[in-house]
A and B are shown apart, each in its own frame.
Chain A
Amino acid sequence: MKFRAKITGKGCLELFIHVSCTVARLAKVCVLRVRPDSLCFSPAGFHGLREAGLWCEVRRGAFQQFRMEGVSEDLDEIHLELTAEHLSRAARSAAGASSLKLQLTHRRRPCLTVAVELASSLGRARSVVHELPVQVLPRGAWRACLPPSLRAADASIYLPRWRTLRSIVERMANVGDHVLVEANLRGRMTLSMETEVVSIKSYFKNLGNPPESAGAPPNGDLESVVQVRVDNRKLLQFLEGQQINPTVALCNIWDNSLLQLVLVQEDVSLQYFIPAL
């Protein structure tokens, strides 16, 4: 098994740092899948969609160098389990760096080595090396690391302006612990919640629906509304601290069962599943 990759360039580095920090915020332990054309992060110990989970994919195009050799020729992947916080801490040390190298190494035990090259203002380069202990997962554990494969969503809609969305969910989380997300295929979405003291409902329109949304509304009516009620703190955790400017930000709803948020920026995609309450 071999893995070696290098990121240079400010934009790609920032994106990688952002992904590592997002993963660490939403999962204590994560699985890093090294595949021939991408790196994928998934929550460890995931047992079906009973809990919220984040999957990220960083495609090969984000790396200046990417070389891997899987377990064997027909099992051309490597699955590593590691503490997400270790990776995010290592990645954060690469803020403003000139390059970040990832390499699978063995120092008495398997490690993911993160080597950061920093150019100091005096012109002398410094390097910081982190050795992150990892556990190589056996083949039997691989299936649990894949994102859930589901039937087509009942409704698919582009998300409103991130800042507005985050602020509304944040205020709702101050007041209660759930939020009802509703959407239809006419670009309309509402967020609402109610407690004994207050009820709050926000209306968004003209959001647009993705063209390839395979979502077929339950009774064929585009106006018909699809809904799901989720834990708003889970939603807020995902919305907070997102500083990237996604080219695509949308959500998919499976009526009364699941909410999926999808963000895509260049070679990075994030998808976050939140099951219904």
Chain B
Amino acid sequence: MPLLTQQIQDEDDQYSLVASLDNVRNLSTILKAIHFREHATCFATKNGIKVTVENAKCVQANAFIQAGIFQEFKVQEESVTFRINLTVLLDCLSIFGSSPMPGTLTALRMCYQGYGYPLMLFLEEGGVVTVCKINTQEPEETLDFDFCSTNVINKIILQSEGLREAFSELDMTSEVLQITMSPDKPYFRLSTFGNAGSSHLDYPKDSDLMEAFHCNQTQVNRSVLNIEFPIGDKEEVKYQISVK
């Protein structure tokens, strides 16, 4: 139906961003994992969408959704950026329920016309269509943690399940979290110093959870502990966390 395709193409031309997913949960699951603040910044290029959530300029979570995950993905300009209420976005994406009916999928079409326009979501399940228009805001500058490869001394990639367990067991009476990385024992250590004493969680370099271990020098870093880190469910999507 060349005429219909042309029509859709013409309609699509007005949008800076068009993305379609057969299963909206592929998107909502990832976004739920970084949902620890109300607002997020979305940054779309032809490679995909990056969604960033920041807290007090010291914690940043990013979700990268590659263009290949979408059934349709078009970005008209070089990049498209906007800030949006992530809580509302998640409510809209799960409008048909957070647990899907067995055998049904909820389809999503997302359209953004550009600066000043709302983000449009078209969701469909079982013949019912829901249209959401969410107002967008000026994108805020997000921290650039400058993960530039040349300055990296040590790089460790861990599967997040293990890290999630570790984080849930951390002694919260400790003011700091100390991270030790070393080419010698203990290789990778998380330490806390709380009311009851100090505790250390060690990950040997040949652990099953280690995806990559490159340490040249012993490094000890401390960070403030009382930041909440939600690490979501990881059945479908594998997360990689780099501590540099």
Q: Which residue in A163, A168, A174, A198 is a CB contact (below 8 Å) of B133?
A: A198
Using A164-B96, A171-B91, A171-B94 as known contacts, say yes or no to A198 and B134 having CB atoms under 8 A apart: yes
Q: Which of A121-129, A130-138, A199-207, A257-265 participates in binding chain B? A: A199-207
Contact between A200 and B130, CB atoms less than 8 A apart: yes
Chain B interface extent, by class: 20 to 34
Contact between B92 and A200, CB atoms less than 8 A apart: yes
Q: Which residue in A161, A175, A203 is a CB contact (below 8 Å) of B88?
A: A175
Contact between A167 and B95, CB atoms less than 8 A apart: yes
Contact between A202 and B130, CB atoms less than 8 A apart: yes
- Which chain B residue lies CB-closest to A201? B131
Contact between A198 and B95, CB atoms less than 8 A apart: no
Per-position binary interface string of chain B over residues 126-162, scored 1 when its CB falls under 8 Å from any chain A CB and 0 otherwise? 1111111111000000000000000000000000000
User: Is A196's CB within 8 Å of the partner chain B?
Assistant: yes
Contact between B135 and A196, CB atoms less than 8 A apart: yes
User: Is A150's CB within 8 Å of the partner chain B?
Assistant: no
Interface set, chain B 182-215, CB cutoff 8 A to A: none
Q: DSSP class of A's interface residues: helix, strand, loop or mixed? A: mixed
Q: Which residue in B95, B101, B125 is a CB contact (below 8 Å) of A171?
A: B95
Contact between B88 and A201, CB atoms less than 8 A apart: no
Instruction: Report the Cα distance A204→B124, complex, angstroms.
Output: 11
Instruction: Report the Cα distance A196→B135, complex, angstroms.
Output: 8
Q: DSSP class of B's interface residues: helix, strand, loop or mixed? A: mixed
Give the number of residues in A that approach B within 8 Å (Cβ atoms): 20
Which residues of chain A have C-beta atoms less than 8 A from B88's C-beta? 175, 197-198
User: Is B85's CB within 8 Å of the partner chain A?
Assistant: yes
Contact between B91 and A206, CB atoms less than 8 A apart: no
Which residues of chain A have C-beta atoms less than 8 A from B127's C-beta? 205-206
User: Is A208's CB within 8 Å of the partner chain B?
Assistant: no
Q: Which residue in B97, B125, B130 is a CB contact (below 8 Å) of A201?
A: B130
Instruction: Report the Cα distance A168→B126, complex, angstroms.
Output: 14
Interface set, chain A 184-212, CB cutoff 8 A to B: 196-206
Contact between A200 and B85, CB atoms less than 8 A apart: no
Closest Cβ–Cβ distance, residue A69 to chain B (whole Å): 49
Among B95, B101, B128, B135, chain A packs the most CB atoms within 10 A around the CB of B128
User: Is A70's CB within 8 Å of the partner chain B?
Assistant: no
Which residues of chain A have C-beta atoms less than 8 A from B91's C-beta? 171, 174-175
Contact between B132 and A199, CB atoms less than 8 A apart: yes
Per-position binary interface string of chain A over residues 193-236, scored 1 when its CB falls under 8 Å from any chain B CB and 0 otherwise? 00011111111111000000000000000000000000000000
User: Is A160's CB within 8 Å of the partner chain B?
Assistant: yes
Q: Which residue in B85, B94, B97 is a CB contact (below 8 Å) of A197?
A: B85
Which residues of chain B have C-beta atoms less than 8 A from A199's C-beta? 132-133
Contact between B133 and A167, CB atoms less than 8 A apart: no
Contact between A204 and B128, CB atoms less than 8 A apart: yes
Contact between B97 and A203, CB atoms less than 8 A apart: no
Contact between B128 and A200, CB atoms less than 8 A apart: no
Which residues of chain B have C-beta atoms less than 8 A from A198's C-beta? 85, 88, 92, 132-135
Q: Which residue in A160, A171, A174 is a CB contact (below 8 Å) of B128?
A: A160
Instruction: Report the Cα distance A47→B132, complex, angstroms.
Output: 38
Instruction: Report the Cα distance A163→B96, complex, angstroms.
Output: 8
- List the 6 closest pairs (A to B, CB-CB), nearest first: A167-B97, A202-B130, A198-B134, A171-B91, A203-B129, A199-B133
- Residues on B lying within 8 angstroms of A by beta carbon are 85, 88, 91-92, 94-97, 101, 125-135
Can you list 8 A-B contacts (CB < 8 A)? Answer: A161-B126, A164-B128, A197-B135, A200-B131, A201-B130, A201-B131, A203-B130, A203-B131
